[in-house]
Structure 1
């Protein structure tokens, strides 16, 4: 069988509403983002059972077609997924040709539009926001998205440049979390931090030179936790825009963590420090 064409549906993508109760901007024209499908305008391919299940549960995800094996369709049905798009029964080999042999598609691929471009204006009701300053690895960002959902963060913020765009690799690494949390992309992280401080958020950058440990830091009611890339860390201009620096002290022989592990630990510390209403 031939590989299906990913067709653009320009003009039909704008829709009302936004994220949850807060509303939001219309998505406008989408670009195909990231992964093997990156480059031109058009939908993206999402794969994996958790990823596809979350995409069907997200009212903000505009879906087009589902390609699945009979076994995968049965597994989706067991999870309560009722596809609201045309379904094409295909072989695993066909799916390999769509997303690559190395992709763990679990027998299911969904053709869908990228999510709407959420912005800082969509964070009015947030209390815990995680900002990633030029973290570029989609596997790390995907793992961080999953931890952010698990620890009840309200949003993950990345830069428009030097950060992975939405695509199949990021979505698969997030294992459904991409459709369960706001992923905000900003042009200028330092400016975003300034805007959040003006909105009443306490902005804390994780830095090995922080004067206090994260556990000893006093947190307000609304917090933006900022992490930087491995090696460079949070950039100087972004650090200066924050209210304070804090560090994570490691008691063992290894003194540093992968950024996704550091994010999970830091989110846990901050989440426990926030009031129960958070």
Structure 2
């Protein structure tokens, strides 16, 4: 059994139907009116879905969640079932080109949660996580995602490089974010079927993953540091992709001397 805690994670798991609930524990004490209303909404959802309820004191909830950040609600749930890469390769229901996210060794659960929240907000079709060298989809990750992790489609893969190759065989371009990339992230044509590949905290992409990518893009940095935190960088790129898909790709930007650089897409277009 797994544990979820926090108002948003538990409510979104109930709404999404992505978990099988054993029971939900709710605090007997209500600290303020706003929290009481949110807790009552969870209680009502549990009753409408036939989920068992227990009312406990806050100390018991803290012991269950192993943190004081439970916000008065803890759920005991079955382990989440993950999809396969074949599930993610299926055509999106609305017919738009694929936009996927692949994480190459993101091990901090808070970074994972933040990335899942951004992926859900940007309309990503699915996320690929390697079975090894990856943060688990823990209560911390789900809490950080504010419950978005319960809505996003996630596949676990044994070999990320092989998974990327499978995507390429389906004409989905692999675009790695790397500070050594030669192209700015907003110069790529995100209206094409693409998977954004993000690397490890502080280390970036593994060499073989980097070589597998069709393109390497970077985020230009104007300050004294060379890169953003992986979750912040992922949000920047994903929302640029969402913007292009919503309003169309931007006009090509002029290079020095008045020469315009063409938007690029596809293997060998650099």
If the length of structure 2 is used for normalisation, what is the TM-score?
Answer: 0.81
Deviation, structure 1 residue 114:
2.0
Contact between 1:210 and 1:245, CA under 8 Å: does it hold in 2?
A: yes
- Partners of 1:155 and 1:182 within 8 A in 2: yes
Task: Quickly say closer, same or farther: Cα 1:90–1:80, change in 2 above 3 A.
Answer: closer
Report the equivalent of 1:155.
126
Q: In 1, Cα distance between the equivalents of 2:150 and 2:232?
A: 21
Is 2:83 aligned against 1:118? yes
Query: Partners of 2:192 and 2:247 in 1: how far apart?
Result: 10
Gaps of 5+ in 2: 93-97, 249-270
User: Residues 275, 221 of structure 1: CA spacing in aligned structure 2 closer, same or farther, 3 A cutoff?
Assistant: farther
2:24 is the counterpart of 1:66:
yes
- Taking the aligned partners of 1:211 and 1:268, their CA distance within structure 2 comes to 20
Question: Which SS does the other structure have where 1:184 is aligned?
Answer: strand
Write out aligned runs for 1:75-90 (5 A).
Answer: 75-78=38-41, 81-83=44-46, 84-90=50-56
Q: Which residue of 2 aligns with 1:20?
A: none
Runs (4+) off by over 4 Å? none
Question: Relative to total residues, which structure has the larger helix share, 1 or 2?
Answer: 2
- Structure 1 residue runs of 5 or longer lacking an equivalent are 1-42
Distance 2:122 2:43 in 1: 25
- CA distance in structure 2 between the aligned counterparts of 1:229 and 1:107, rounded to whole angstroms: 34
Does 1:99 find its partner at 2:65?
A: yes
Deviation at 1:118, TM superposition (A): 1.0
SS at match of 1:153: coil
* Structure 1 residues 218 and 250: CA distance shift in structure 2, 3 A: same
Residues 196-215 of structure 1: pairs in structure 2 closer than 5 A: 196-215=167-186
Q: Which residue of 1 aligns with 2:13?
A: 55
Question: Structure 1's 238 and 254: CA in aligned 2 closer, same or farther, altered over 3 A?
Answer: same
Q: Alpha-carbon deviation of 1:78?
A: 3.8
1:1-278 maps to which residues of 2 (within 5 A)?
Answer: 43-70=1-28, 71=30, 74-78=37-41, 81-83=44-46, 84-100=50-66, 102-123=67-88, 124-126=90-92, 127-274=98-245
Residues 193 and 81 (structure 1 numbering): CA distance in 2 closer, same or farther, change over 3 Å? farther
Tell me which residue corresponds to 1:24: none
Classify the secondary structure of the residue corresponding to 1:225.
strand
Q: Distance in 2 between matches of 1:257 and 1:211?
A: 17
Q: Name the count of aligned residue pairs.
A: 234
RMSD of aligned C-alpha atoms? Answer: 1.9
